Amino acid sequence: MDEFNQKMKEAITNGDYESWILFEQKRLRLFNLTHKFEEGEIIDAVWNKVEDGEITFKSDIDFNKFMTMQIKSLISNEIYRLKNKFDGYKDHETLYKYFENNKLFDRNELNYIIENIDLKRMKEIIFDEILADDIEANFVLEQWIMEKPIKEIAEDLKLTEKETYSALRRARYKIEKQLPSEFIRNIRRAI
């Protein structure tokens, strides 16, 4: 983290930070969002994710390319994931209105949806839609959420522990690919 902070300080003085802001704003414009992001808001989000350990920074990677890739990834992954097929919310009329207005959701709209999510529907989305084609990952995740030890899950499925962890990682990857991170925190509540 110290090395990352040092590189950020250098980027502010050498002009890289300004070019990232231009890249960030240009990228955001591609999505035609009605919500206007503050300049540097996505860059700050990358910084926070590195600080929280969600993104790993390796010193041997070109810092400018690393930041550009993370900005691009964060915009794509965090903002563009909510699709109309996730209709498991209590107030369908309001959700539809939000979707019709801008096809994507700003922070307030996303918070509204998270607060009003139908957890039963979320379980259906995860197990019946996202993980429907991967029975192994589906079963492992369901057992893991019920706090069954990995060793026991592996024995039940006649898998090695390594294969069981692999199935759990696949499940997480598929879910994260389809749902925004705010929903991931609610998975344990949903089951």
Is 103 a domain residue?
A: no
| Domain range for 72 | 2-79
87 falls within a domain: no
pLDDT of residue 136: 92
pLDDT at res. 90: 42
State pTM to two decimals.
Answer: 0.42
Spans of the chain below 70 pLDDT: 1, 31-37, 77-122, 179-191
Residues 171 and 122 in one domain: yes
Supply 37's token pair: 């992001």
Tell whether 112 is covered by a domain.
no
CA distances from 176 to 22, 78, 168 (A): 27, 10, 12
Segment 21-29 long-range contacts (CB within 8 Å, at least 24 positions apart): 23/68, 23/71, 23/72, 24/71, 24/75, 27/71, 27/72, 27/75, 28/75
Nearest to 38 by CA among 52, 28, 51: 28
What confidence tens digit (pLDDT) does each residue in 104-128 have?
Answer: 555 665 566 556 666 566 677 778 8
Q: What is the per-residue pLDDT for 89?
A: 41
| Residues 73 and 21 placed together within one structural domain of the fold | yes
Task: Say if 106 falls within a structural domain.
Answer: no
What is the number of structural domains in the chain?
Answer: 2
How many other C-beta atoms lie within 10 A of the C-beta of residue 159? 17
pLDDT of residue 127: 81
Confidence at residue 59, expressed as pLDDT on a 0 to 100 scale: 80
pLDDT value of residue 160: 92
